[in-house]
Amino acid sequence: MKPFLIHNKERNTYPMVVSLPHSGTWLPETMKKSLYSEVVLANTDWFLPKLYEFLVAKGCTVIENQVNRYVADPNRGSQMLGQDYQTSVVYQYNTFGHKLYNQQLEPQTIEERLTNYYWPYHQALQELINTKRQFYQRVYLLDLHSFAEYPNQVGIRPADLVVGNQADQSSSAGFRQLVTSLLEAEDYAVSNNQPFRGGFITKFYGNQPHIEALQLEIRYQEYIEARSFGEEVLTKYNPALFHCAQRRLEKVFENLLESISKERRSGGE
């Protein structure tokens, strides 16, 4: 199995690269054997490749991770700074704070995961961005995610979508405002940089010259099912809700692509 898929790699119709780092569900067999039998690998970005399939149809360049975020998370730095999902590239606990493994992972196991699954994703993403730069003066990186609820904020009603750009450090305020306004035009409630400012991907690539990196998080209730979500693995969605969200998002991206495509190319196709 390929650790990730790249759609429209050779097409440079738009100055944009789309990243789906948390949409994968595949686990290596060695990892399956070391997990507690009752553990739940919650908070995957369920069904996002299907939700955003219209981007591939429109010719957008999309990199789609097939490996579960619990194997090695591309949206974290490569260091092991702790044991939970917010600080470590290889989690020791799930997003609900429950221990994953029946024994501590060996440093060699962590290094193998980085070599096999983490670094190849970043190498491929960097190459896609570099290719776009040959054609466009500015490249836009959209890192797409989803969420159930705001973490550690009980009683606060989440927005429908959260736009994050490290508080205007990984992209311009103008690009953030453009995305926000297009979402609001489809009657979405949008939060900017609260509580999700963007992860490692937006921070790292948005620090590169001529790259505007932005993270977009959509709430589960907006496209999966209109209910509360707990520590669970999701296997189905409400078709009517899903396709309604898909149509609305397609309009948003149609207008976004039209807007950024007006910028001058640097040469090539």
- DSSP conformation letters of 192-233: ESSS----HHHHHHTTSTTEEEEEEEEEGGGTT-SS---S--
Tokens of 96: 């609900």
In this prediction, residues 231-236 reach a mean pLDDT of 97
- pLDDT higher than threshold 90 for residue 113: yes
- pLDDT higher than threshold 60 for residue 266: no
* Preceding amide of 195 cis, omega within 30: yes
Q: Which helix (H) or strand (E) holds 238?
A: none
Burial of 23 (0-12, 13-18, 19+ CB in 10 A): buried
d(CA 215, CA 116): 25
- Can you give the pLDDT at residue 86? 81
- pLDDT higher than threshold 90 for residue 152: no
- pLDDT higher than threshold 50 for residue 165: yes
Q: How confident is the model at residue 269 (pLDDT cuts 50, 70, 90)?
A: very low
pLDDT one-digit tens code per residue, 73-99 = 999 999 877 766 888 999 999 999 999
The residue with greater pLDDT, 268 or 3, is 3
pLDDT one-digit tens code per residue, 15-45 = 999 999 999 999 999 999 999 999 999 999 9
Q: By C-alpha distance, which of 8, 6, 4, 15 is closest to 171?
A: 15
pLDDT one-digit tens code per residue, 192-226 = 999 999 999 999 999 999 999 999 999 999 999 99
- pLDDT higher than threshold 70 for residue 161: yes
pTM of the model: 0.95
Tokens 């979500």 -> residue: 229
Query: How far out from the chain centre does Cα 123 lie?
Result: 16
Please work out, in degrees rounded to the nearest 5, the angle formed at the alpha carbon of residue 75 by the alpha carbons of 69 and 80: 85
Neighbouring-strand partners of residue 139 = 211
Percentage of the residues of the chain whose pLDDT score is greater than 70: 96
In this prediction, residues 1-8 reach a mean pLDDT of 96
Per-residue burial over 59-90, b = 16 or more CB atoms within 10 Å of its CB, e = otherwise: ebbbbbbbbbbbbbbbbbeeebeeeebeebbb
Q: How confident is the model at residue 57 (pLDDT cuts 50, 70, 90)?
A: very high
d(CA 178, CA 262): 14
- pLDDT higher than threshold 70 for residue 267: no
